[in-house]
Amino acid sequence: MGKRRNGAPRRGRRANGRRRRGGARGQALIPHPPPLTNIAIVHERRLRFTCNSAFAGAITFQNLLDLLGFAATATVGYDLFYAVRMRAVECWALPILGQATTVEVVYDGNTAGSVGDQRIHTDSSMGIEPAHIVARPAGRSGAALFQESSANQAFYLNVPSGAVVDVMLSFTAPMQGQSVPMQNALVAATAGALFFRGLDGLGAATSKLLPVVGYIL
């Protein structure tokens, strides 16, 4: 074994039958660095809001990106992230004594079907049981994809006063060096501070859906 019929060692093998090491002069090849598929900052978070007044209206992608911001000056704020993706909305609402309460979420977009699937996610309370829904966007709909800041509707929300609304979101900052200004001006903010805004995009003084924790402006 390891020799030709004439007794000479086979090519690539030593006389003792072992293979030679690959590469020139016995040196190993340098492996190619693997490609980078993503260097963006991605942050997934469940955020909770309490409804201090009945709310029925659209939540836009601009509203969602304005949830987390940083203050450049006392009145100018920028979004902390560049794009957002909906994962789910979860709502709870207690019944009023002797009455039922209803919560509703619809992924429909500004134009029917352009962002969502038009399915109505709704539940009503019964007795002492709260109304409760978990509404996820269709996997192939625009609401389930990363969206930049815009007035396009992410979902429609209808909840009574006292409701609790959780939104599960994925944020991303693609490292393109761009900062998006917030829709509404800040009031007496501390420059450089990170802060929350209401789910409806408004500040602490006027929002109907306020975060339960954090520095709120």
Query: Residue 208 and residue 114: Cα distance in Å, rounded?
Result: 27
Q: Which of 82, 80, 40 is closest to 61 using CA atoms?
A: 82
Q: What does DSSP say about strands 68-71 and 77-79: parallel, antiparallel, or unpaired?
A: antiparallel
Query: Residue 83 and residue 42: Cα distance in Å, rounded?
Result: 10
Task: Assess contact for 145 and 156: CB atoms under 8 A.
Answer: no
CATH 2.60.40.420 fits 42-67+80-177, yes or no: no
Question: Would you state the structure tokens that stand for residue 123, as one six-digit string?
Answer: 């539940």
CA dihedral 200, 65, 45, 52 (to 10 degrees): -10
What pTM did the predictor assign?
0.81
Q: Please state the φ and ψ torsions of residue 63, each to the nearest 5 degrees.
A: -60, -45
Query: Strands, DSSP E only, in 72-163?
Result: 77-79, 83-93, 102-106, 120-124, 131-135, 147-148, 153-159
Average pLDDT, the chain: 86
pLDDT tops 70 at residue 13: no
Confidence at 35, pLDDT banded by 50, 70, 90: confident
Confidence at 36, pLDDT banded by 50, 70, 90: confident
Domain ranges of the chain: 42-67+80-177
pLDDT of residue 115: 67
Q: Convert the pLDDT of each residue in 52-111 to its tens digit.
A: 999 999 999 999 999 999 999 999 999 999 999 999 999 999 988 878 899 999 998 655
Q: Which of 88, 85, 78, 108 is closest to 177 using CA atoms?
A: 78
Query: Residue 28 and residue 207: Cα distance in Å, rounded?
Result: 64
Residue 173: how many other CB atoms lie within 10 Å = 16
Query: Residue 45 and residue 42: Cα distance in Å, rounded?
Result: 10
For 50, the enclosing helix (H) or strand (E) is strand 41-51
